[in-house]
Amino acid sequence: NLPSDATPVLDVTGKELDSRLSYRIISTFWGALGGDVYLGKSPNSDAPCANGVFRYNSDVGPSGTPVRFIGSSSHFGQGIFENELLNIQFAISTSKLCVSYTIWKVGDYDASLGTMLLETGGTIGQADSSWFKIVKSSQFGYNLLYCPVTSTMNCPFSSDDQFCLKVGVVHQNGKRRLALVKDNPLDVSFKQVQ
């Protein structure tokens, strides 16, 4: 059930996120510390479609790839709420071959980087590696958490994040790749795509 104290996630203009709309995930920092999140080709991947989740090296340059947030309690309305289990999908037109390459998930452990990288190929609403949460990180930003399926599946709005891991950035072949991190999670905000 949707708790009465559920807090909606807000975009940069202060409007509540809507699961029917597309957003860019942008850094709360500017310059070299900034940069939007985008879909790109993973190094050494033999996948037929772009399958990596990256962040541009600066906020000066290209805009990120739009995403949609698909909440686990969408039958309560179109809002997206803090601490709600959700799927993240790149909102792009694609061939049928690449449709499954739009849903975010956490990949296998990468020994060379010492972490698990975010990639695409997840499944909406399934008990796999595709569940995330948005949590408030600061006055102006949010963090993304990866929440593997646990007992929280029965309670999507559980605020117990002991089983959740932070999403941050690692460097892979000169690019900033989203991955699970122990420290320094990525602070982001959301900008509606017009």
pLDDT tier at 171, thresholds 50, 70, 90: very high
The lowest-confidence range among 2-6, 34-38, 79-83 is 2-6
pLDDT value of residue 156: 46
In the chain, alpha helices (H): none
Whole-prediction pTM = 0.88
Most confident of 47-51, 96-100, 149-153: 47-51
CA separation for the pair 121, 110 (Å, rounded)? 17
pLDDT value of residue 139: 66
| pLDDT above 80 (res 161) | no
Secondary structure (DSSP) of 15-41 = PBPBTTS-EEEEESS-GGG---EEEEP
CA separation for the pair 72, 76 (Å, rounded)? 9
The residues near 85 (Cβ < 8 Å, ≥ 6 apart) are 71, 72, 131, 132, 133, 147, 152, 153, 156
pLDDT value of residue 1: 52
Q: What is the mean pLDDT of residues 33-55?
A: 91
Q: What is the mean pLDDT of residues 29-41?
A: 89
Location of structure tokens 């805009």: 63
Torsion region of 134: left, alpha or beta (phi above 0 gives left; psi -120 to 50 gives alpha): beta
| pLDDT above 60 (res 172) | yes
Domains of the chain: 23-192 (2.80.10.50)
| pLDDT above 70 (res 106) | yes
Query: Hey, what amino acid is at 40?
Result: G
pLDDT value of residue 31: 84
| pLDDT above 80 (res 22) | yes
Q: What is the mean pLDDT of residues 73-89?
A: 82
pLDDT value of residue 38: 96
The sign of the torsion formed by the CA atoms of 182, 132, 23, 44 equals: positive
pLDDT tier at 146, thresholds 50, 70, 90: very high
CA separation for the pair 100, 148 (Å, rounded)? 19
